[in-house]
Amino acid sequence: MAICVQQDLLKNLRKNMNTKESPFGEEFKILIQERIKNFWGYGNLKGPYWFIGMEEGYNEDNEVLLDRFTATAHKQTCDIYDDLKVDPGHVYWFEEGAPIQPTYRRLIEMMLYAETHTFPDKEEVRAFQISELGRKNSNNALLELMPLPSKSIAEKDWLYADSGIDGLSSRKDYLETYKSERIEVLRNLIQEHKPKYVICYSLSYQEDWQQLTDAPFIEVNPRRLYIARDGETTIAITPHSVAQGLSNDDWKMICEELFL
């Protein structure tokens, strides 16, 4: 009987997280706090290619945050597929026959171009997405500056206001409370692991990306590509993968200029 009650409570919590009516029990609050402190994303921090975005997206129709947070607890990074099978909506993009995910597409194109100096076709991108992107033993890491998934940056989509956790009363509060500390830790991770390339995608957060290094950024392509050389690491700032107004030829030019 107790097991049935516990399962019902867990089911209700999952349902409520998908309707933004979360009761935020103590267990879930602890998972949120732990994620803010420790979690950075997916893949291999020892790999040569790091991609850094602002935050993970969240589809409330088919993704379950409780399961995702539980699976990633106490880890800096995890395998984007093997460790997240508990959340089918999340791993959909890594199943056989999956469509190409728009954000991942440009990141993969950059990586494959860096390796071959040939712009990959769609099937090469799809194959890499399904089997190699964000994997534990891969050559890449998919990281996020901010740790909590969100549907959008709009205040109305902020899921965590009722969590009772300091700094989460609003998105503005969240960024003011945690962003500077996250930038500093990420900066230290870059110095520790010394990846060959760190590619920060989104010009909207250019000021944040520039704080990841003391090296000056050079505008290689106006509003398209900025590059800094920090010892063994090249840090680049590019538009977001789904930024409007950029053609395939524009992305090819970004690849050519970044990976000379």
Which tens digit of pLDDT belongs to each residue from 46-57?
A: 999 999 999 999
DSSP strand pairing (77-78 vs 218-221): unpaired
CA distances from 209 to 30, 61, 102, 121, 192 (A): 29, 31, 22, 30, 17
Lowest mean pLDDT among 150-159, 186-195, 196-205, 223-232: 150-159
pLDDT tier at 19, thresholds 50, 70, 90 = very low
Backbone CA torsion sign across 255, 48, 52, 106:
positive
Helices 26-38, 65-72: axis angle to 10 degrees equals: 50
Question: pLDDT of 100-116, one tens digit each?
Answer: 999 999 999 999 999 99
pLDDT confidence of 22, banded at 50, 70, 90? very low
At residue 12, does pLDDT exceed 90? no
Who wins on pLDDT, 65 or 251?
251
DSSP 63-125: --HHHHHHHHTT-SEE-TTGGGTT-HHHHGGGSTTPPPPHHHHHHHHHHHHHHHSS---HHHH
Helix (H, G, I), strand (E, B) or coil at 139: coil
pLDDT winner (highest mean) among 15-24, 88-97, 157-166, 182-191 = 182-191
Confidence band of 226 (pLDDT split at 50, 70, 90): very high
Amino acid at 229: R
The pLDDT assigned to 10 comes to: 37
pLDDT of 16 higher than 70 = no
Q: Rounded mean pLDDT of 67-72?
A: 93
Residue 23 has pLDDT above 80, yes or no: no
110 within 8 A of 236, measured Cβ to Cβ = no
Q: Which amino acid is at 166?
A: D
**Is residue 20's pLDDT more than 50?**
no
Q: Distance between CA 79 and CA 93 in Å, rounded?
A: 13
Predicted local confidence at residue 63, as pLDDT: 74
Distance, in Å, from the CA atom of 71 to the CA atom of 136, rounded to the nearest integer, reads 14
Percent of the chain with pLDDT over 70: 91
The answer to whether the beta carbons of residues 48 and 54 sit under 8 Å apart is: no
- 144-177 burial code (b ≥16 CB/10 A, e <16): bbbbbbbeeeeeeebbbbebebeebbebeebbee
Token digits of residue 195 = 């990846």
Residue 38: predicted pLDDT: 97
Distance between CA atoms of residues 81 and 177, nearest Å: 31
Q: Does 1 score more than 80 pLDDT?
A: no
Is residue 21's pLDDT more than 90? no
Structure tokens given for 240:
């977001």
Structure tokens at 199: 């590619």
SS3 128: helix
Does position 183 have pLDDT exceeding 50, yes or no? yes
> Is the pLDDT confidence value at 4 over 90?
no
